[in-house]
Amino acid sequence: MQLSKFSYYSDFVVYPVVVIGLAAVNFSHYAGHGARDWAGACLAGLVLWTLLEYVLHRIALHHMPVFSPMHSLHHGAPLDFIGTPSWVSVTVWLGVIFLPAWWWGSFNIANGLTVGVMLGYWWYGYVHHVIHHHARNTSSAYFNELRAWHMRHHHSPKRGNFGVTTPLWDYVFGTAISARGKVTVSP
């Protein structure tokens, strides 16, 4: 959906505050006990985010009638402030990741997993913003490579390159578009 400039940029503030808050609550409750489990859950959340990013982009944003018109707006006007309000996305992560993980596991694991997913989502937002809103000559080689990857998603007649922060899942699922415009099929 079209966001105001304030709402668009709020993710860059809201997510760090929520992540720090969740981590502080967890560590004040556990006083350092279970830190290894929390860190493992956080790492698992980061990896889970990369898969969610791919699946949500490939399926929800390109094939589901509820979401695909919004994503089509982004493809048509990639510099516009289009996205999901922070209050919606934070609520979704708490309801879809944190509460079920706490129900089936522990607060410590649920907290770490949620922090990992939220860090991944924040990084995705940052990377996507840099790709579209920063000039090529002011970005690092890392962002320029991701920009080239993502621009093939936007401009190739083939459907692919659904990962924004990593091409991993596109290679796994055979949707990677090479620089020559061919879809790379995984072996």
pLDDT, tens digit only, all 187 positions of the chain: 788 999 999 999 999 999 999 999 988 887 667 889 999 999 999 999 999 999 999 998 888 887 777 777 777 777 778 888 999 999 999 999 999 999 999 999 999 999 999 999 999 999 999 998 886 666 688 888 998 898 899 888 889 999 999 999 999 999 999 887 566 554 4
How far is it, in rounded angstroms, from Cα 52 to Cα 46?
Answer: 10
CA distance 104 to 67: 30
**List of residues 6+ apart from 184 with CB closer than 8 A:** 170, 171, 174, 176, 177, 178
- Is 184 a domain residue? no
In 35-184, which ranges are E strands?
A: 176-177, 183-184
On whether residue 179 sits in a domain, the answer given is: no
pLDDT at 66: 79
Instruction: Look at residue 109 and tell me if it is in a domain.
Output: yes
pLDDT at 174: 96
Would you state the pLDDT for residue 57? 92
Task: Judge whether 167 lies within some domain.
Answer: no
Q: Tell me what pLDDT residue 30 has.
A: 73
SS3 99: helix
CA distances from 112 to 17, 58, 103, 166 (A): 15, 26, 14, 21
Q: Report the pLDDT value the prediction gives residue 187, as an integer from 0 to 100.
A: 44
Closest CA to 162 of 17, 52, 48: 52
Q: Which domain holds residue 54?
A: 5-140
Contacts of residue 76, defined as CB under 8 A and 6 or more positions apart, other chains included, come to none
Q: What pLDDT score was predicted for residue 62?
A: 85
Whether 127 is in a domain gets the answer yes
Which pTM was predicted? 0.89
The whole-number pLDDT of residue 31 equals 67
What is the total count of domains within the chain?
A: 1
How is residue 135 written in tokens?
């000039």
- Confidence (pLDDT) at 90: 96
Q: What are phi and psi of 183, to 5 degrees?
A: -80, 125
CA 41 – CA 22 distance, rounded (Å): 13
Does 150 fall in a domain? no
Tell me if 156 is assigned to some domain: no
